Amino acid sequence: MQRTPHPDELAGREVLLLGLGAFGGGAGCARALARRGARLTITDLRPEEQLSESIQELEGIEYRPAFGGHSPELFERAEVVVVNPAVPQGASWLQVARDQGCQLTTQVNLALRLAAQVPAVAITGTHGKSSTASLLHHLLRSLPGRTVLSGNVGGSLLEAVEGLTPQDRLIVELSSFQLERLDAPQGWPQVALFTCLRPDHLDRHGDMEHYAAAKRRLLEFQNEQGLALFPRDEASLDAFAAAARGRVERWGSGDLNLARWGADEADLPWHEDYRLPSLLLAARAAQEFGLPESELGAAMRGFRGLPHRLEELPAPAGFRFIDNGIATHPEPTQAAIESLLPQTAALSVLVGGYDKGLPLLDLPASLARCQQVHLFGAGGERIAAALPSSSTSVRIHANCADAVHAALAELPAAGGTLLFSPSFASFDEFRNFRDRARLFQDFCARFAGSGKKSPGDAAAGTY
């Protein structure tokens, strides 16, 4: 990856956006590039009909469309190619761009050049990135100036940083896809925060070594004044902490001091042990940005987390419906099951999706302690093969919708808890994990409005 130009250097130059995407980030990047006078071409492998929502967001800007595939002519004309994070490092079109002498960059790199003087905290890790970033954003909202949250949480980082000044703050969540091409200003970020490191995206990175290397790039541009924050008990991050160039702090459960925060457990919606490290790291980052420790409790009040993270949904009396759709790995499902089992005599769990081949850890053993397990997709088939013998009722369904319908219908009439925690990726049936979780929420909402007294009454229903 060559030196990243400042976005203002793109005026009048031929810029190719390689990958529009379907979730708004590419469209926002295109708008920002057009505002800076780039002569913009947008290409995507998908045809126009599959990109209709993103294309609608481009209304009013000038660009040349090239949807339904790339061509060598695009790279012959381009001077700068802005690469979408979904494009893998080994993609053949990147070599075509290099052979044509194109300058390769990314939206993240352009955004960081534009916001080089804005105090920033960057957050990465396998799990807990969005929750930690959102909590930190909540904590800092009372400080003077603007606090902007962007990056992997959605939308366009380049568009989000427009107009920010050194009196503002940037919280950016970064995935391994975004980090593997990171080219940041020296000294960036002021705070680097790591949540954990677990096997993930090995279908993209090949092995844990390359996945970890992508995450570790977040430390490569920090200087001695930077702060790197890690959970104390994450041995997988020991090498990261040793590689940090600035200050290193590690925080664990023994560091929670509610009295110094002016708080009690009622103020902390995330005080469960498996979420505590993220809470502590966000609190420490907030202090680094100027929030007094004694005000942390007051700042945390009112924060109730993000959707699809153990989100409790309306349910008939005696029942609980819990949306943990964020769980696209076995680990958070295992943690959720272990936290819920002591609270309910009848736990039913929905698990399945696209199998990326991640280690199952102890998830099969945890599922074997549940009353019912409803499985779908290739991930569900893998779980079924790995489940130990038990009295658990196990059913495999053709798809996610069938699994949700059956799980609702078969809950025991005496009451129980239904946990939607897929544990596998969503790309076999859905655009993303949110669409899959919304399906579960829609089913639950239709049932809640059906007038049935218990899920079992609705076995033949169309909710």
Radius of gyration, alpha carbons of the chain: 23
Whole-Å CA distances, 184 to 108, 130, 221: 9, 21, 6
The contacts of residue 101 (CB under 8 Å, 6+ apart) are: none
Q: In what side-by-side order are the strands of the sheet with 347-352?
A: 311-313, 319-323, 416-423, 347-352, 372-376, 393-397
Amino acid at 132: T
With beta carbons less than 8 A apart as the criterion, state whether 286 and 299 touch. Answer: yes
What is the structure's pLDDT at 386? 97
Burial of 375 per CB tally in 10 Å (0-12, 13-18, 19+)? buried
pLDDT tens readout for residues 201-215: 988 999 999 999 999
CA distance 47 to 55: 11
Distances (CA, A) of 197 to 120, 289, 363: 22, 25, 18
pLDDT of residue 400: 98
How far is the C-alpha of 373 from the C-alpha of 9, rounded, in Å? 56
For 28, other C-beta atoms within 10 Å of its C-beta total 23
Instruction: Please name each of the domains of the chain with its CATH number.
Output: 7-105 (3.40.50.720), 109-300 (3.40.1190.10), 311-458 (3.90.190.20)
Q: Is the pTM of this model over 0.85?
A: no
Question: In the β-sheet with 227-231, what is the strand arrangement from edge to edge?
Answer: 147-151, 169-173, 120-124, 191-194, 227-231, 247-251
> Within a 13 Å sphere around the CA of 197, how many CA atoms are in the beta-carbon half?
24
Residue with tokens 């957050």: 123
E strand or H helix at 396: strand 393-397
* Helix, strand, coil percentages in the chain from 3-state DSSP, rounded to 5: 40, 20, 40
Q: What are the tokens at 375? A: 């499985």
Main-chain dihedrals φ then ψ at residue 395, nearest 5 degrees: -130, 140
Alpha-carbon gap, residue 158 to 164, rounded angstroms: 11
Positions in the chain whose pLDDT score sits under 70:
1-2, 269-275, 450-463
Cα torsion angle, 226, 231, 236, 242, sign: positive
Q: How long a stretch of residues is the chain?
A: 463
Q: Torsion angle of alpha carbons 306, 158, 181, 360, nearest 10°?
A: 10
Neighbour tally for 304: CB within 10 Å: 10
Residue matched to tokens 């009196």: 167
Give the pLDDT confidence score for residue 127 in this predicted structure: 87
Question: Hey, which residues does 247 pair with through a beta bridge?
Answer: 227
Per-residue DSSP letter, 216: H
Half-sphere exposure of 304 (CA within 13 A, CB side): 5
Residue 159 near residue 208, CB atoms below 8 Å: no
**DSSP H/E element including 140:** helix 129-140
pLDDT in tens, 54-101: 999 999 999 999 999 999 999 999 999 999 999 999 999 999 999 999
Residue type at 301?
A: R
- Mark 47-70 as b/e (b = at least 16 C-beta within 10 Å): eeeebeebbebbeebebeebbeeb
Residue 343: the pLDDT is 87
Give residue 345's identity as a one-letter amino acid code.
Answer: A
Q: Do 463 and 443 form a contact (C-beta atoms < 8 A)?
A: yes
CA 228 – CA 143 distance, rounded (Å): 22
Q: What is the dihedral of CA 172, 175, 180, 181, to 10 degrees?
A: -50
What is 323-369 written as a DSSP string?
E-TT--SHHHHHHHHHHHGGG-S-EEEEEE-B------TTHHHHHTT
| CB proximity list for 48: less than 8 A, separation 6 or greater | 55, 65, 67, 68
